[in-house]
Chains A and B, each alone.
Chain A
Amino acid sequence: MTITKYKDIAVRISEGFDGDLDFCRSGFQVTKTAITTPATATPTVLMPRVAFLPDTPTFPSGVTGYIPLEVNVTHTVSLATPILLCEMFSMGTLNVATSTFTDGEAYPTVNALGSSVQQFGPVIFEWQSAAPTGTGRSITVTYRDQDNNTAETTASITLNNSSSQYAGSTLPLNSGDIGVVDITNATSNSVGTGIIEFWGFIPIATWVATHTAGISIPLDMIGNNLVSRIGANKRLGLFQVGGAATAGGAVGQVRFVGDN
């Protein structure tokens, strides 16, 4: 049955079509330095990763989509910035040692408002490799903007010397741009080592996370008008929007019901 009413959720749960994606891991057990620091020409929003989630499972019989019902995060440090739960897809990687870009996916088209919509949005970039090294590293990224215009290149983005894995930021776009459809190239000054991964994402939930360490911060999604249908084998991520990558760990879960 297709979930079209609130009570349908209870019916589907009673039929056993609910489940959890649990996580109990941290992107940054020790304090880390962000991959870049916001600057006038390269404004970014810091996006340290809170945790990875397992990919959504292959659809069982009778399920054609997963609707998230609740997300719950317990962090070991007090947070003063929101948490973002999102569906992620890799837009490519850059080997900074060789300045080699490997292309990935573009933002997808989605069914929205009765139409097929070319989605666009921010890009999070973070070190994929665990121990990048180097002093004086910088990159530029070539992207197609929210209007899918001819690709343009960012200003030079300085990478922090001591930056490390999972302390990402949003890609600083050129003035006036609000999103990216596709990354077509990225280059480095071939200094140091490390592989950067570029992530596109579609938001599922963003919620107030100001809390005391160790006390969970749940969000009822349907009750807050956050209705999403997530596909099978999709990667989900949790990020701390605008936050510092302080030491800590997180546990929690995202609870789903299977739609049909």
Chain B
Amino acid sequence: MPNPLRSYDDHLSQESLYGDWRWCGTLSTRAPSTAATTTSGFTTTQRFPETVTVPTMGAPVTRAYCVFGAVQIATASTFVAAIETTLGTLTVSGNSFASGSAMPSRKIATGESLSTAATECYLVATVALSATTPVVTITYTNAEGVGSRTATLTLPTGVAVNSAFDITPHLQSGDTGVSSVQNISISTGTAGTLRVYGLLPLYIAPVPAAQGTSYMNPSTLARDIYGVESGDVIGFYRHGSTSSERAFVHLVFAPES
């Protein structure tokens, strides 16, 4: 099972047989987002509306690893590229909930495939809200598979599109992640759409200065690395700023077979 992360030799060999996927794209939030508060995630976060879908892989390739990332953003922030799962959607008008998917399974070091739970989980306004300090209640199943857990966030007034609020600090006591969402409801409002996304981070880049950039080789990072599979959706986020922003991102994925 050649893994491109194991050594430079394995990467070169896998690339010669199956090819790396070298990709870049541009992202943009066209308007400022809304800052987080202590009742809505603490960390100000913005989701770029663009996503990229991992292409179909050919046998015997089963997954690929993000082995390089680079990003350019004009303002200081922290950039995240992650496998993104839509866990559920709330249309504010009518308080109408639509189910999403559960977090996916992924292979771990032993070779087993286990269900994941999102330790980064965001409530995102995909359509702007107009309500005054609405209270959002999310019913979820935690990382241990225990259902009927609830997270409650009080959002700022008039949440702008692409604003993302970290659910994790508001999980029920003792919970560390979300594996699926069973319901989302809101206390007030008639406009907007909220969606819960679960993330498995692939690439995290500090962009410390204006017009700065960051690049890194994820194999040098001491953190979890998830393989991407055909059809996975990769989403893009940034922490620490509400300004409208443009970004250039360059990712490389190396195949495992």
Residues of A within 8 A of B (CB): 2-6, 8, 38, 40-41, 43-45, 80-82, 84, 86, 110-119, 121-122, 146, 170, 172-173, 175-179, 201-204, 206-210, 222-229, 241-243, 259
The 10 closest A-B pairs by CB, nearest first: A114-B58, A114-B61, A115-B58, A43-B28, A206-B70, A225-B67, A178-B50, A112-B21, A114-B18, A82-B213
Do A113 and B72 form a contact, CB below 8 Å, given A82-B215, A208-B213? no
Question: Which B residues lie within 8 Å of A201 (CB)?
Answer: 24
- A179's nearest neighbour on chain B, judged by CB, is B25
**Contact call A242/B211, Cβ cutoff below 8 A:** yes
B93 contacts the other chain (CB 8 A): no
B12 contacts the other chain (CB 8 A): yes
State which size class the interface on B falls in: 35 or more
The residue from A3, A6, A225, A259 contacting B68, defined by CB atoms under 8 A apart = A225
Shortest beta-carbon distance, A230 to chain B, in Å?
Answer: 11
**Contact call A241/B13, Cβ cutoff below 8 A:** no
Shortest beta-carbon distance, A220 to chain B, in Å?
Answer: 11
Question: Which B residues lie within 8 Å of A210 (CB)?
Answer: 209, 212-213
Shortest beta-carbon distance, A170 to chain B, in Å?
Answer: 5
Interface residues of B in 197-242 (CB under 8 A from A): 209-215, 217, 219
16 contacts between A and B (CB under 8 A): A3-B12, A4-B13, A45-B246, A82-B70, A112-B19, A112-B55, A113-B55, A115-B57, A122-B248, A146-B52, A173-B26, A175-B49, A176-B49, A203-B24, A203-B250, A228-B20
Interface residues of B in 57-104 (CB under 8 A from A): 57-61, 64, 67-68, 70, 72-74
**Of A111, A204, A227, most B-chain CB atoms within 10 Å:** A227
**Interface residues as binary, B42-62 with A (CB distance below 8 Å gives 1, 0 otherwise):** 000000011110011111110
A31 to B246 alpha-carbon distance, docked (Å): 23
A44 to B26 alpha-carbon distance, docked (Å): 8
A194 to B194 alpha-carbon distance, docked (Å): 46
A69 to B244 alpha-carbon distance, docked (Å): 37
Shortest beta-carbon distance, A213 to chain B, in Å?
Answer: 16
**Contact call B50/A176, Cβ cutoff below 8 A:** yes
- A206's nearest neighbour on chain B, judged by CB, is B70
**Contact call B252/A226, Cβ cutoff below 8 A:** yes
Given contacts A4-B12, A173-B26, A228-B20, 17 further A-B contacts (CB under 8 A): A82-B72, A84-B248, A112-B55, A113-B57, A113-B64, A113-B253, A115-B61, A146-B52, A175-B30, A178-B26, A178-B52, A203-B23, A203-B250, A225-B67, A227-B20, A229-B15, A242-B213
